[in-house]
Amino acid sequence: GLTLIIITGLPTSGKSTRAAQLYSYLSERIASQQQPDNNKKYRLHLISDQTQNISRTVYDLSQLPAHVRSANASEKDARAAIYGAVKRVLSPRDIVVLDGLNYIKGWRYQLYCEAKNMSTPHAVLQVGCSMDRARGVNQARLDRRKNNNTQQTPGQQQQSEPTGQMITQQLEQTTGGGQGGVEVGDEDEEPEPYAPENWENLVFRYEEPNPMTRWDSPLFTLVWDDSPSETKSVFDKLWDAIAGEGKKLVRPNQ
């Protein structure tokens, strides 16, 4: 059965961009696996803070008085919401791409156990990016937001960040993806930036995946500069790991 793919990486390191690329890649693979009775074998889901309307501020410890910091209730609530969303759709027929920081080892372990409970395979995709670049992306978002608030009337929003979309298009060309790919989210709406201290603190708290542990393996990695063909080859390997020949494919209603 299938499958939970956990994306992880530093804040603003390109996770959502890769998640969107993976989503289009998987939807093509699924479409090409159509059953003779025209039933789709798999249903694909993208779950993220954005799809669950979770604000970046839930991660911000500086917003909390010191004595509640260890409990950090808002982040726990956010994780519970994500967990609920994953559980609702996780079945042998569903593929979940879980886009997010997923930076806590214990949280990744919990998700792994959930997948195991459902006998659904799981994989981790780490998105790598230099600290300076990731910080720069967040800073640019903060700057644009500030400029938009001071200089522009609503509806006059600046066109921003074409790069992520451009590489998605390039990837679609590489994978032969027609039909304009898949719409994921509202592309005009710029994701919420992190407050600078929140960003730094999340980097500090980040718990690197360890491929020697069951819950962080199989572990796949993509870095910022990976070309569309390198990206496709990582996605191919990921697909083989979760749905490849060696895996028993579960048919609907079985």
Q: Is 15 in the site for ligand ADP (CB under 6 A)?
A: yes
Which residue in 128, 191, 218, 228 binds ligand ADP (CB under 6 A)?
191
Q: Which residue's CB is nearer to ligand ADP, number 30 or number 137?
A: 137
CB 75 within 8 A of CB 59: yes
Q: Which residue's CB is nearer to ligand ADP, number 41 or number 164?
A: 164
The Cα angle at residue 187 between residues 48 and 169, in degrees rounded to 5: 100
Q: Which residue's CB is nearer to ligand ADP, number 125 or number 241?
A: 125
Using CB under 6 A as the binding rule, the residues of this chain from 133 to 172 that contact ligand ADP are 137, 161, 163-164, 167
Q: Is 14 in the site for ligand ADP (CB under 6 A)?
A: yes
Nearest distance in Å: CB 177, ligand ADP = 17
Binding window for ligand ADP (CB under 6 A); candidates: 5-13, 105-113, 177-185, 196-204:
5-13
Dihedral, CA atoms, 196, 197, 200, 203, nearest 10 degrees?
-110
R_g (Cα) of the chain, nearest Å? 19
Nearest distance in Å: CB 250, ligand ADP = 31
How far CA 105 is from CA of 16, 109, 112, 139, in Å, comes to: 20, 6, 10, 27
Nearest distance in Å: CB 32, ligand ADP = 25
CA atoms in the 13 A half-sphere facing the CB of 183: 4
Q: Is 177 in the site for ligand ADP (CB under 6 A)?
A: no
Nearest distance in Å: CB 80, ligand ADP = 21
Tell me which residues touch ligand ADP (CB under 6 A): 9, 11-17, 137, 161, 163-164, 167, 191, 224
